[in-house]
Amino acid sequence: MARVKLEDVDKVVTSSTQFFQMKNDGDIEKVNILYETIDDVECHSLHKVKVNGRDRWVECLREVGDEVEACPLCASGSKIALRVFVPLYVNGQVQFWERGKSFVDDLKSYCNRYKPLCGMNFEIERQGEKGNTQTKYQFFPLEKNGKTLKDFPEVPEVPDQFLLTKTADELYDFLDTGIMPGVEVTQEKKQEVQPRRREGSPRTNRRREVQF
């Protein structure tokens, strides 16, 4: 087991990384956005698929300029969505907040104003009732804290509970069976599974594995 100095205990990230949510109109949370500059922001090109009856995000395998066939999900007609999982420091732990492409423009603005971005304390207020598709989140800068990313817990990779990263072979298997490799299958799903791909139909670029 790795040894951790006492002064670094609070910087150790466990596997219990949580998803940030504000469920009710008027909810307010004090947060730090764990970026220093806009260069720290990573967007993900994703597909939304049903796994065990639930919507799950899966990384697209295409790189910019690749043909559609480079990703089995793209080749099957699944649409791409761009998402960003914003790491926040809230209530003493790192949490990921899923946002759309348009939020990147907000992040650019914040990064231009506050350098480093994590050195500013923010309050976020939810403006919109639960289920309202027009819900907005208002950011209020509070005060500078003089911190850099080194002063916060290390930001982990986005965990599988939020984002699945699969190979081309695994995605072909999913398209064939409806079962996502590496994800526990419910008994209900086992009973309903039937091959989806017609026998003898080709698997284009079967061995291609590309990370976006």
Question: Which pLDDT does position 160 carry in this prediction?
Answer: 86
Question: Which pLDDT does position 196 carry in this prediction?
Answer: 53
Apex CA 78: angle with CA 75 and CA 81, to 5°? 120
Q: pTM score, two decimals?
A: 0.78
Q: 105-142: per-residue pLDDT in tens?
A: 999 999 999 999 999 999 999 999 999 999 999 999 99
What are the residue ranges in the chain where pLDDT is below 70? 1-17, 186-212
Taking alpha carbons only, the member of 161, 203, 169, 199 closest to residue 52 is 161
Taking alpha carbons only, the member of 110, 99, 82, 101 closest to residue 21 is 99
Question: Which pLDDT does position 198 carry in this prediction?
Answer: 43
Residue 153 is encoded by which pair of tokens? Answer: 């817990």
160 φ, ψ (degrees, to nearest 5): -60, -25
Question: Which pLDDT does position 184 carry in this prediction?
Answer: 81
Question: Which pLDDT does position 203 carry in this prediction?
Answer: 53
Question: Which pLDDT does position 187 carry in this prediction?
Answer: 52
Question: Which pLDDT does position 161 carry in this prediction?
Answer: 84
> How many Å apart are CA 180 and CA 210, to the nearest integer?
18
Question: Which pLDDT does position 5 carry in this prediction?
Answer: 43
> How many Å apart are CA 204 and CA 69, to the nearest integer?
6
